[in-house]
A and B are shown apart, each in its own frame.
Chain A
Amino acid sequence: MQLFNFVKNIFLKSFFFSLFAIISLNSYAEINNKICLILDKGGKDDKSFNQSAYEGFLKAQSDFKITKDSKYVTVKEDSQSPHFIRTLSNGDCGLIIAVGFNNADIVGKMAQKFPKQRYVLVDSSIKETNIRSLSFQEHEGSFLIGAIAAIKSKTAKIGFIGGMEIPLIKRFALGFESGAKYINPKIKITETYVGVSPAAWNNPTKAKELALSMYNQESDIIFVAAGASSQGVFDAVSDMNKKNNKAETKKFVIGVDSNQNYLIPGTVLTSMEKKVNSKIYSAVKDFIENKFTTGVITCGFADDGVDWAYDTYNKQLFSNEDIKKINKIKQDIISKKINVPDYYKVGK
């Protein structure tokens, strides 16, 4: 009899406990403000868009009352990506932010399976009822950068160094090329890539050799979009400028993704900023304030998604006339007076 009482006691206790647990779980689900960030292979310190995304995430985390459980994961190999996304989509995270076109594609396929889960995708134009896609207009920014390079080039030879040869980087290249040709139809543009495998993002030594070879063939401005390999191009430009101090043969480099003007003041001509951080910040803000909208959001010049960096570090490189020209082109792109070719649409 005593044993029976004991079992009954345990049973009742556990019943009430589980009931309590269910209630508390439900109330927790209503205010779930856990944000999960999935980074692409570059990782949080790639000095590029992953880092930018991570910074936006950190800033949002400290500004809004987001639970400390919020976390980020880094995809090391493409095969890990579906696993991460499926695990995080089980309702634990309020909002999932996926960076990089590869992650974005997998989220696009997975989103129908988890209709209640909300996602933000960086570098994607996927339409789903529960996805906000941030589609950055890299070709617009690159067009302007190409135009600036053509304005400032003294040798009428400029170069482009991409990381891995993928459509996203080709989009940069095409925009850059058509921008330069818009200013000077006869300009010579050399287009090179570090490699065709993901190792190309982490090979600064080879990027440096590519840059040295270009500078030796009289290109004086190089636009680099090569992730961590970009460091090699920055090394190459300081090596070249160390050898000759003449102002008319000075070599320049143009950075990408985040503002890299500060790296070598006066030598980094400008940077094409892709404002992933502010767009992620505002997505989190909308989510916390319950104003989250879905759909494809284009982030071009008009919506302050891309821009050229002009600050104290490169101010002395541009005359008022240059600035006027550049702003004119920018306005023309916004008002669609200039038709910028998009590799995603014209390419292949």
Chain B
Amino acid sequence: MDWINLAFSIGGATIRMSAPLIFAALGGLFSERSGIINIALEGKMLAGAFAAAAVTTLTQNPILGLIAGGFAGMLMAIVYGIFVINFKANQIVVGTAITILASGTVPFVSQILFQNTGSTPEIPIGNRFIYTPIIIAWLLVISIWCLFKFSPYGMWHKFAGEHPDALQTSGIDVIRTRWSGVLVSGFLAGLGGATLSICLSSSYTRNMTAGRGYMALAALIVGGWKPITAALACLAFGFFDALGITLQGIQIPKPEFSIQFLNQIWSFFVSAQFIQIIPYILTITIVAGFVGKSRPPKALGQPYLRNR
């Protein structure tokens, strides 16, 4: 029986599908731990996806493409940071605006560079990453865990989100800490987008992130704003996605119950559509507090006023 084959296929798909989510969730972690809500992840990923594909096409070098993707995400983060940190604008509103800005700007730049608003030219298979970004993602999970656990830099970020006044009194600038959180977040989200366009597929296509920025945010919340649990939540999301994909394609063994009603229940729970909504049901359940309490940083979403 090809159960082993099936398990390998699901496992491979899980790891691939979760990689961009992990990048974006780690990005969200950086900014949210330092007190800035990051609903703009989607827009930063989109910018990263485009920049990576465009630079790889122009230079024939995927490493440059990956870096460019990160910096494009960072560019969006700079715009975001100016508004939410320096001008103290509402973070949800600006975040949404950044996502819309990215989905409009990217086709515009694409039209200038490639005379095509829909997609960039296809990148040949030799110029694409096979698995490098996936490894980078997991290395980042561990290193960011260490960073938050052991280094003072991680501690500053935690305090900027939990109790900014305490951080300021101890002589560390809150504004500067938050800026670094937002910039790193943009870079990581950009890498997530780059993974999508130059590793998991072969070109940028319009709105190719397809809601992954929001899914990463949900994974971050499910994971309780901690790097390893957030990455595991991403892996779970990827797993349900992969399961839904595989279940659409195969005939599921159907046990024959004597009661007709049980048969219906069974076919409902193994249907691909049901499997696909599991991540969202999971998120709602966990966030609603039934499974475990997921506590956000205390000062999340509050702009910091230095002379309060």
A interacts with B: yes
Q: Which of A's residues lie within 8 Å of B, judged by CB?
A: 42-47, 51, 159, 190, 192-193, 196, 199, 202-206, 208-210, 212-214, 216-217, 228-229, 231-232, 234-235, 238-239, 242, 263
| A231–B201 touching, CB < 8 Å | yes
Q: CA A214 – CA B250 in complex, angstroms?
A: 9
Starting from the known contacts A51-B118, A205-B208, 6 additional A-B residue pairs (CB-CB under 8 Å) come to A192-B248, A192-B249, A205-B196, A206-B245, A228-B208, A263-B122
| B9–A196 touching, CB < 8 Å | no
| A202–B9 touching, CB < 8 Å | no
Q: Contact partner of B13 among A196, A209, A234, A238, CB < 8 A?
A: A209
Q: CA A210 – CA B17 in complex, angstroms?
A: 12
| A216–B208 touching, CB < 8 Å | no
Most buried by A among B13, B17, B125: B13
The answer to whether the Cβ of B116 comes within 8 Å of any Cβ in the partner chain is yes
Most buried by B among A45, A46, A214, A238: A45
Interface size class on chain B is: 35 or more
**How many Å from the CB of B294 to the closest CB on chain A?**
26
Set of chain B residues within 8 Å of A216, measured between Cβ atoms: 5, 9
| B248–A202 touching, CB < 8 Å | no
Q: CA A228 – CA B4 in complex, angstroms?
A: 32
Most buried by A among B5, B116, B118: B118
Set of chain A residues within 8 Å of B119, measured between Cβ atoms: 45, 47, 228, 231
Q: CA A274 – CA B246 in complex, angstroms?
A: 30
Q: Contact partner of B200 among A42, A196, A208, A238, CB < 8 A?
A: A208
Listed by A's residue number, 13 A-B pairs whose Cβ atoms lie within 8 Å are A45-B117, A51-B118, A159-B249, A190-B248, A190-B249, A196-B273, A202-B210, A204-B201, A205-B201, A209-B13, A209-B16, A209-B245, A231-B122
**How many Å from the CB of A54 to the closest CB on chain B?**
11
With contacts A43-B117, A46-B118 known, is A235 near B202, CB below 8 A? yes
The answer to whether the Cβ of B96 comes within 8 Å of any Cβ in the partner chain is no
Q: CA A44 – CA B116 in complex, angstroms?
A: 8
Set of chain A residues within 8 Å of B202, measured between Cβ atoms: 204, 231, 234-235
Interface residues of B in 104-121 (CB under 8 A from A): 107, 116-119
**How many Å from the CB of A49 to the closest CB on chain B?**
13
Q: Mark B199-221, 1 if CB is under 8 A from A, else 0.
A: 01111011110110000000000
| B249–A203 touching, CB < 8 Å | no
Set of chain B residues within 8 Å of A202, measured between Cβ atoms: 205-208, 210
Q: CA A235 – CA B20 in complex, angstroms?
A: 18
Set of chain B residues within 8 Å of A210, measured between Cβ atoms: 245, 248-249
Q: CA A45 – CA B118 in complex, angstroms?
A: 5
Interface residues of B in 91-147 (CB under 8 A from A): 107, 116-119, 122, 125
Q: CA A199 – CA B103 in complex, angstroms?
A: 13
Q: CA A202 – CA B211 in complex, angstroms?
A: 11
Set of chain A residues within 8 Å of B248, measured between Cβ atoms: 190, 192-193, 210
| B249–A199 touching, CB < 8 Å | no
Set of chain A residues within 8 Å of B117, measured between Cβ atoms: 43-45
Q: CA A213 – CA B2 in complex, angstroms?
A: 13
| B206–A199 touching, CB < 8 Å | no
Interface residues of B in 209-259 (CB under 8 A from A): 210-211, 241-242, 245-246, 248-250
Q: CA A54 – CA B202 in complex, angstroms?
A: 25
| A204–B205 touching, CB < 8 Å | yes
Closest 9 CB pairs of A and B: A45-B118, A192-B248, A204-B201, A203-B210, A199-B210, A228-B205, A202-B207, A205-B200, A45-B116
Smallest CB gap from B126: residue in A: A242
Smallest CB gap from A229: residue in B: B205
| B245–A231 touching, CB < 8 Å | no
Q: CA A34 – CA B145 in complex, angstroms?
A: 62
Q: CA A204 – CA B122 in complex, angstroms?
A: 12
Q: CA A203 – CA B248 in complex, angstroms?
A: 16
Q: CA A238 – CA B140 in complex, angstroms?
A: 30
Set of chain B residues within 8 Å of A45, measured between Cβ atoms: 116-119
